[in-house]
């Protein structure tokens, strides 16, 4: 069944200072009535008692609105409006005045253990900065808007993790990853949370991942995989550099005519240079007192 979406509108309560003056007048009237009753001895004190009751009831109508806070006014089940302007006010004493903060809130999400796109168990958490945009929706369209924000944010984080791999080289289905595409993932997370919180009249200011790691049971294996990938990448760069240096050495030797090398001698020189340039340890020189073929 479709429900009517609540819509915030401004309320117009009276100034509390004017009602304080009225209360003071009523208090003076009570004192005068009691004095009159004491002097007449036979006059009923009912008017004075009724005036005291009216004073006490009117006291319940006073309320204060602080900066970046609001009061949602509900009278006998009817929404009467929201007061956002800071000040001291008075309204119908039977009006319920629910306080709703308009300030920015931080939601530091708990660590969640979920599976990423390729099924790897990971730990993930997010920080969400949010504030109330529509006090009527936050009050009437959800049961508890602060709990609603927490639950829906957790649900969005779980969905985000299931749509992306942890790292870039895990799959080619999705071009982005949780670790390698931080800005794209943060924007997607913000959009996901915002779409869920529109019902509660909440605006998401920022949403980012605050924790991302492999689950403990696979962390060691994945660390070895990352180390292996780093070693391969480093080796590739070293080999590319070494080949370039060997090519430059051969061209320089030929250009300056230092020595004439046939293919076999070039192969021997290339092999020695690659061993020197690509080796883990410093090479140990070997003196050859004979010829190349002896």
The pLDDT > 70 percentage for the chain reads 76
Residue 70 corresponds to which tokens in the numbers above?
């609001």
Residue 209 corresponds to which tokens in the numbers above?
């991942």
d(CA 229, CA 238): 14
Q: Can you list the alpha helix ranges (DSSP code H) found in the chain?
A: 16-40, 46-59, 135-140, 145-163, 182-197, 216-256, 263-278
pLDDT of residue 56: 87
* CB burial readout 279-293, b (16+ within 10 A) else e: eeeeeeeeeeeeeee
* Cβ neighbourhood burial of 92 (10 Å; 0-12, 13-18, 19+): middle
The DSSP secondary structure of 87-118, one letter per residue, reads EEEE--TTEEEEEEE-S-EEEEPPPEEEE-TT
Instruction: Say if pTM beats, i.e. exceeds, 0.85.
Output: no
Where are the CATH 3.30.479.30 domain residues in the chain? 105-214
Q: Is 213 helix (H, G, I), strand (E, B) or coil?
A: strand
Using one digit for the tens of pLDDT, what is the confidence trace for 197-240?
999 999 999 999 999 888 877 556 566 666 656 666 667 777 77
Q: Is CATH 2.60.34.30 what the domain over 105-214 is classified as, yes or no?
A: no
């Amino acid at each position: 069944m479709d429900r009517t979406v609540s819509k915030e509108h401004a309320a117009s309560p009276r100034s509390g200072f004017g009602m304080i003056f009225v209360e003071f007048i009523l208090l003076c009237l009570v004192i005068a009535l009691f004095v009159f009753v004491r002097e007449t001895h036979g006059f009923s004190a009912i008017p004075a008692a009724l005036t005291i009751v009216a004073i006490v009831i009117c006291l319940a109508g006073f309320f204060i609105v602080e900066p970046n806070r609001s009061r949602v006014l509900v009278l006998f089940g009817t929404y009467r409006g929201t007061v956002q302007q800071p000040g001291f006010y008075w309204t119908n004493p039977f009006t319920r005045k629910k306080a709703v903060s308009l300030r920015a809130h931080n939601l530091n999400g708990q660590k969640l253990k979920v599976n990423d796109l390729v099924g790897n168990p990971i730990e993930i958490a997010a920080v969400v900065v949010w504030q109330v945009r529509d006090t009527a929706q936050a009050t009437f369209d959800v049961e508890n808007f602060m709990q609603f924000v927490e639950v829906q944010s957790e649900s969005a984080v779980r969905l985000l993790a299931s749509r992306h791999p942890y790292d870039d080289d895990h799959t080619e289905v999705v071009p982005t990853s949780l670790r390698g595409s931080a800005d794209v993932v943060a924007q997607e997370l913000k959009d996901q949370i915002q779409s869920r919180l529109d019902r509660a009249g909440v605006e998401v200011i920022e949403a980012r991942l605050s924790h991302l790691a492999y689950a403990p049971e696979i962390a060691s294996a994945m660390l070895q995989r990352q180390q292996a990938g780093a070693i391969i990448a480093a080796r590739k760069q070293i080999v590319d550099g070494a080949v370039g240096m060997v090519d430059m050495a051969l061209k320089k030797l030929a250009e300056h005519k230092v020595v004439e090398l046939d293919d076999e001698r070039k192969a021997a020189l290339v092999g020695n240079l690659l061993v020197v340039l690509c080796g883990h340890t410093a090479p140990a020189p070997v003196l050859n007192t004979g010829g190349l073929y002896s």
